[in-house]
Amino acid sequence: MPDLVPEDSLPNVDKDQFRPIDLRALLDVPRSIQKPRVLMLYGSLRERSYSRLATEEAARILRRLGAEVRIYNPACRCRIRPRPIMPKSRNCEICRSGRKRRSGARRSGMAR
């Protein structure tokens, strides 16, 4: 069995920066009346997604601790009204759609 790292050993923490919690400084701050708000995200659209399950579990824990939690559902797309197309944008739209507009110089050169 490999050697296990002892629990009190923290080789990745700078000991000068790691200080115990000062309870007086923590408790003297006036508390907010609002619950902390947390927005949780997950990226998978699969029916059985482990990232979604982990997000929902974390949300349950945060709610139990008193937070207001919302979970963003990536499958729920908001419908946004299309913006009006400006004249210059219409030219770009035509180019992207595959219909090519020929300028006067090109037309006259091709007609020969």
Contacts of 102 (CB under 8 A, 6+ apart): 110
Return phi, psi of residue 91, to 5°.
-60, -45
- How confident is the model over 72-94, as a mean pLDDT? 66
Q: Say whether pTM exceeds 0.75.
A: no
Q: How confident is the model at residue 38 (pLDDT cuts 50, 70, 90)?
A: very high
Average pLDDT over residues 8-35: 74
- How far is it, in rounded angstroms, from Cα 79 to Cα 69? 23
Average pLDDT, the chain: 73
